[in-house]
Chain A
Amino acid sequence: MTTAAHNNRLPLTALFGVLLGAAIMVAPLVWTLLLSLKSNSELMRDSSAAFSAPYTLENYRAILVGSDVPRWLLNSIIVSLGTTAAVLMLCSLAGYGFARLDFPFRRTLFVFVLLGLAIPEQAVILPRHQLFATLGWHNSYPGLILPGLAAPFGVFFMTQYFRAIPKDLDEAAMLDGASRLDVFWRILLPLTLPAQATLGVFTFLGSWNDYWWPLISATTSDKYTLTVGLAAAQMNYAQTSGLGFLMAQAVFASIPILIVYIIFQKQIVQAMAGAAVR
């Protein structure tokens, strides 16, 4: 990440701006962490108590013992990973098909898929809810994962990527007697890993953050995702165990994804950049 011409020192005003921005980014997170480490009764009197000791891990203990948060976290992981894996598979297959193969109505079908880019989730979510009800698919992992799979953007993205790979590669392999599937699986797919990463990151985050669909599709607490589970707690917070416990839930629920983010930061940043370079 460098541009030689710009590699001189940051002007003081800009440095100040960045630092101020960083402080605004971090302050809510630190505040949340501090609140989560305080006893609920102390916070009930005055939340300024968060600025001073004593701190306690009691709220975190309570999460592990008496709450559904760990279960919701697991559900979120299952749904997001499931969606991501399935989207990558479907979009790679379709992208390869559209980019490399000849079959009837290929162009028409591709345009048909592109039309889907214009349909926002909100326009189909209510009828889809009715459809899934008729089929009895609600309140299940497949029911939570499936709606994320109709991802026309993914197909468009993968098709563009496959098109950019020189055709000589697969033609040479075909001459060596490899099958279509072989070419796809052994030669082309590994070349698309950067695109897979980009699409994967977008899909995962989209699914991880999805709120409306799990809100209306998951009907029992043991199928809630984090977004839905924590929603009930915060809208009710007068009647909860207290502010500290609530904030401990927020911290507890964010830690796994933040860790993943920190570990894979480089890849995620590259993946994001990949999206712009198309």
Chain B
Amino acid sequence: MKIKLLLATLGAILLSGCQSDDERPTLVVQRFFGECGAVYGKSIDVGKAETECGIVTTMLNRFAAENPDINVKVNIVAWPGYAQLSAQIAAGDPPDLVTMHQSVISDYQARSLLEPLDEMLADAGITTEMLTPAGQRGTIKDGRLYALPWDTIGRLWHINTALMAEAGLMRNGKPLLPRNPEELIDHARKFKAATGKPYLVQAQVAAPDYLVANLYTYLLAQNAVVFPDARHIRLNTPEARKIVGLYRTLNEEKLTTVAQDFPSATANFVNGGGGIFPTGTWMIGPYEEAARSGTSALKGYAVAPFPQLWGQSAAFVDGHGWVVPKDDRSSAERKAIVRFLSFLARYNSDWTRTGHLPAFNAVLSSSSFTQQPHRRDIATMAATGQQLPGFVQRQSAIQGLIGEELEAAVSGVKPIDRALADAERRVNELLSQI
């Protein structure tokens, strides 16, 4: 009968799917940074790759090619992928190596879900002293290393200098940046009047992390204490209200793009849709390439750290790292991980082509890094960059909660003080449940 045949075929398929005749140790590498198999599908030429996605893809291809005795499986997750990682850990089947923001490490580390890496890193020939101070701060928890730091990332102002010149906002070939919130609004109005385009290109849709980074940056600049202790956040403050108020005004007066998510904002900026795109270090590479190519509508390009609007100059920075979730692993699998870690360290220099700051001192001082364009302009960020206190857990979830309330505040759906009060209440409730 048909059914019998169907069942037999199915059984065969199921069985063939279950058994693996692969004797090699398996290394499951899980990463974000996007999917670009169409361009970099089988390429192993790391030196030629561009963008985060291109470089990480070719690196993983290369590792698999250089280590035929390891069965490398790659999971590409949607940024930032922590819900999925949590599900995997809860399922008892976590990946072997995962990209993780340094700010998130303490969540997992405090719940004993990560493997301390001191030994494996030592086996891979990596010692703490080799890492940049920022990299160390981001990955050492309770005196142990919980990740291989991979970079330091910060937010920058990516500037379309051609449009800025049109608005009369260039001095001696450098963009004229505001020194206080009033001046920012002033510049923005002037820019809009001269070019007809918004001063800021902001990725505000489905990107709560962006608004939160602004808030953290300017709270740090005002020396505000965001987390007085591990169980509380302080958000409904005059300092925070000032910051959110500024972004509310920008939206209200349409001095910024309002309805763009990250992909559309990225494309919009490169198509000359606005003056300044505040986003991460990772866009330096692609935009530099676009401006140089001459075919793009981006005719002139510069970057600068966030301007100093209140108090001192400050930057909220974070970094990527590679962590190893706890799991039972054979010694062959541990050796595979060690080999991968040491491979990663060798390619940290290539990674800086994305625009991120390196995690290794040797790369930071190397000429291959400093001679890339714009790197000198952002070097201050390495010094002024601050992270949130390491005792704060659930930073990823907290960022989501605050971001949601900030979205409501800057779009005018909620009054600013109510949104901040709600954010404070929600975060405190989350922290009280840990």
A contacts, CB < 8 Å to B: 40, 44-45, 59, 62-63, 65-68, 78, 81-82, 85, 88-89, 129-130, 132-134, 136, 138-142, 215-217, 219-222, 231-233, 235-242, 245
- For B94, give the chain A residue with the smallest CB separation: A219
Question: In the complex, which residues 82-131 of chain B have their Cβ closer than 8 Å to any Cβ of chain A?
Answer: 84, 87-88, 90-95
B contacts, CB < 8 Å to A: 3, 6-7, 10, 13-14, 17-18, 28, 32-42, 51-53, 73-79, 84, 87-88, 90-95, 262-263, 266-267, 271
The 5 A-B residue pairs whose C-beta atoms are closest, nearest first, are A66-B41, A239-B34, A241-B38, A62-B38, A66-B37
- For B78, give the chain A residue with the smallest CB separation: A235
The residues of B that contact A133 with a CB separation of less than 8 Å are 90-93
**Pair A138/B91 contact, Cβ less than 8 Å:** yes
**Complex CA–CA separation, A219 to B35 (angstroms):** 17
| Max chain A C-beta neighbours (<10 A), residue from B35, B41, B92, B93 | B35
**Pair A240/B36 contact, Cβ less than 8 Å:** yes
**Complex CA–CA separation, A87 to B75 (angstroms):** 31
With A221-B76, A238-B34 given, name 7 new contacts (CB 8 A).
A129-B87, A129-B91, A216-B87, A219-B87, A232-B35, A236-B76, A241-B39
**Pair B75/A59 contact, Cβ less than 8 Å:** no
**Complex CA–CA separation, A233 to B263 (angstroms):** 13
**Pair A141/B17 contact, Cβ less than 8 Å:** yes
The residues of B that contact A221 with a CB separation of less than 8 Å are 73-76
**Pair B266/A238 contact, Cβ less than 8 Å:** yes
The residues of A that contact B76 with a CB separation of less than 8 Å are 221, 232-233, 236
A130-B90, A238-B34, A240-B36 known; A220+B262 contact, CB < 8 A: no
The residues of B that contact A139 with a CB separation of less than 8 Å are 91, 93
| Max chain A C-beta neighbours (<10 A), residue from B41, B76, B91, B271 | B91
B32 CB, min distance to chain A CBs, angstroms? 7
A220-B95, A221-B74, A239-B52 known; A141+B32 contact, CB < 8 A: no
A141-B14, A141-B17, A236-B78 known; A219+B88 contact, CB < 8 A: yes
The residues of A that contact B92 with a CB separation of less than 8 Å are 133-134, 136, 138
**Pair A78/B13 contact, Cβ less than 8 Å:** yes
Residue of A81, A222, A242 near B73 (CB, 8 A) is A222
B201 CB, min distance to chain A CBs, angstroms? 13
**Pair B93/A239 contact, Cβ less than 8 Å:** no
**Pair A220/B28 contact, Cβ less than 8 Å:** yes
The residues of A that contact B53 with a CB separation of less than 8 Å are 239-240
